[in-house]
């Protein structure tokens, strides 16, 4: 696999599926293993994502789990040290899998092994558990959590399927997804930092038929933006855009409403923003909107720029995600190497 093929493996989703309930949460782990042909990248990298935001990282160079500041106080040092040791074991197991798989392919070329697993909840009800592997950017093998069986997508995956049946691997990860993943999700959500959105309401110019309602800097990801006309919900001529990540781990979202100047004069229009950081929805009167000059590109191009910046950061971090049709997988935020402190070192 050449460098260009490596980039094709990367699938960056800014928002594959937007879940709009304040009580919707997700916990996901993503692994990537690379052959030595890819110089400049860690051999193995893992990240943990809570509601799409990175809360921990691990790499083959550091050989220890590094929690983010906002979550590491949710448990004591002993807890994180134990999980760091567990991650070292996952790293070794993943490396052994990679060796068995790549030996069936052309070893003169570079290869990648990816894994995504986790759980999701809605109103405290677990709605999804999954465990998927990919090889060189294509689906490889996946676990049916309910019946505890593996589906080998590629013939080369049969060797793993056979080994996992005999060594208890299936039972371990089935129990992990049904119990430990759920317990972690409930625990971590209680310490999740909530950040209020910064909001704006504007038109590009006075003659523009489109009013834009924009929110940024909020966390967690889930947010609802709606419109009202004289106090009644508006369902037509509105465009709700996908949620985009900011570089600091927060998110942004916008919605636009097409409405004529005559309608704005006759009726009272408002934008309503609902988020878990707010005690009640924010109501922004359209009559107080700003009129931007010179095309009013502020707020319109921010999402595109942020997306490109995050994409570059992800490539540098060496996190790759394979393309999966009808996927609900999310993007991997860049790992902050400055946080590789001595938190886990005990005296």
Within-domain flag for 312: no
User: What 3 state SS string does the chain have?
Assistant: CCHHHHHHHCCCCCCCCCCCCCCEEEEEEEEEEECCCCCCCCCEEEEEEECCEEEEEEECCCCCCEECHHHHCCCCHHHHHHHHHHHHHHHHHHHHHHHHHHCCCCCCCCCEEEEEEEEEEECCEEEEEEEEEEECCEEEEEEECCCCEEEECCHHHHHHHHHHHHCCHHHHHHHHHHHHHHHHHHHHHHHCCCECCEEEEEECCCCCCEEEEEEEEEECCCEEEEEEECCEECCCCEEECCCEECCCCCEEEEEEEECCHHHHHHCCEEEEEEECCCCCCEEEEHHHCEECCCCCCCCCCHHHHHHHHHHHHHHHHCCCCCCCCCCCCCCCCCCCHHHCCCCCCCC
CB 46 within 8 A of CB 67: no
Residue 84 makes CB contacts below 8 A (sequence gap 6+) with 58, 64, 65, 344
Within-domain flag for 251: yes
Place of tokens 């997804």: 177
188 and 104 inside one domain: yes
What CATH number has the domain bearing residue 205?
Answer: 2.60.40.10
In tens digits, what is the pLDDT along the chain, a chain of 347 residues?
444 344 434 433 333 333 334 468 899 999 999 988 777 788 999 999 988 888 899 999 888 898 887 777 666 778 888 888 999 999 998 998 899 898 888 888 889 999 999 999 887 788 899 999 999 989 999 988 888 888 999 888 888 888 787 777 888 888 899 999 988 888 887 766 788 999 999 998 877 889 999 999 888 888 999 999 999 999 899 999 999 988 777 889 999 999 998 999 999 999 999 998 898 999 999 999 998 865 444 443 344 444 444 443 443 344 444 444 444 444 334 444 444 444 344 33
Within-domain flag for 129: yes
Domain containing residue 233: 198-305
176 and 158 inside one domain: yes
Over the stretch 88-122, which tens digit does the pLDDT of each residue have? 999 998 998 899 898 888 888 889 999 999 999 88
173 and 71 inside one domain: yes
158 and 277 inside one domain: no
CA neighbor of 76 nearest in space, from 209, 203, 201, 187: 187
Within-domain flag for 329: yes
CA dihedral sign of residues 195, 275, 182, 10: negative
76 and 144 inside one domain: yes
Query: Residue 330 phi/psi, 5° resolution?
Result: -115, 165
* pLDDT score of 320: 42
Residue 333 makes CB contacts below 8 A (sequence gap 6+) with 47, 49, 52, 53, 54, 245, 249, 310, 313, 314
331 and 282 inside one domain: no
CB 65 within 8 A of CB 58: yes
105 and 153 inside one domain: yes
Within-domain flag for 136: yes
285 and 173 inside one domain: no
d(CA 177, CA 270): 43
What CATH number has the domain bearing residue 131?
Answer: 3.30.500.10
Residue 104 makes CB contacts below 8 A (sequence gap 6+) with 156, 159
Q: What is the pTM of this model?
A: 0.60
Q: Specify the number of domains making up the chain.
A: 2
177 and 240 inside one domain: no
d(CA 256, CA 239): 5
């Amino acid at each position: 696999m050449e460098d260009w093929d490596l980039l094709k493996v990367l699938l960056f989703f800014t928002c594959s599926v937007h879940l709009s309930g304040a009580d919707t949460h997700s916990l996901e782990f993503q692994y990537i293993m690379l052959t030595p042909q890819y110089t400049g990248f860690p051999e193995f990298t893992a990240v943990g994502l809570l509601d799409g935001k990175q809360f921990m990282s691990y790499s083959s160079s550091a050989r220890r789990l590094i929690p983010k500041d906002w979550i590491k106080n949710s448990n004591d040092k002993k807890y994180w040290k134990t999980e760091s040791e567990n991650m070292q074991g996952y790293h070794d197991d993943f490396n052994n899998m990679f060796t068995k798989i790549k030996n069936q392919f052309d070893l003169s070329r570079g290869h990648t092994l990816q894994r995504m697993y986790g759980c999701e909840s809605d109103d405290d009800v677990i709605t999804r558990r999954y465990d998927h592997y990919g090889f060189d950017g294509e689906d490889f093998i996946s676990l049916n959590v309910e019946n505890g069986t593996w589906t080998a997508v590629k013939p080369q995956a049969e060797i793993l399927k056979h080994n996992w049946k005999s060594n208890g691997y299936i039972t371990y990860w089935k129990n992990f997804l049904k119990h430990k993943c759920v317990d972690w999700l409930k625990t971590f959500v209680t310490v999740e930092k909530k950040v209020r959105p910064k909001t704006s309401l504007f038109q590009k110019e006075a003659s523009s038929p489109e009013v834009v309602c924009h929110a940024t800097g909020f966390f967690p990801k889930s947010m609802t933006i709606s419109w009202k006309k004289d106090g009644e919900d508006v369902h037509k001529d509105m465009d709700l855009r996908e949620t985009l990540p900011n570089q600091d781990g927060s998110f942004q979202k916008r919605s636009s409403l097409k409405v004529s100047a005559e309608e704005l004069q006759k009726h009272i229009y408002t934008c309503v923003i609902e988020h878990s950081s707010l005690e009640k929805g924010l109501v922004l009167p359209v009559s107080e909107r700003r009129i931007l000059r010179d095309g009013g590109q502020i707020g319109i191009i921010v999402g595109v720029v942020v997306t490109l910046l995050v994409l570059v950061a992800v490539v540098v971090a060496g996190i790759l995600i394979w393309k999966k049709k009808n996927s609900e997988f999310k993007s991997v935020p860049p790992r902050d190497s400055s946080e590789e402190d001595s938190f886990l070192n005990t005296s």
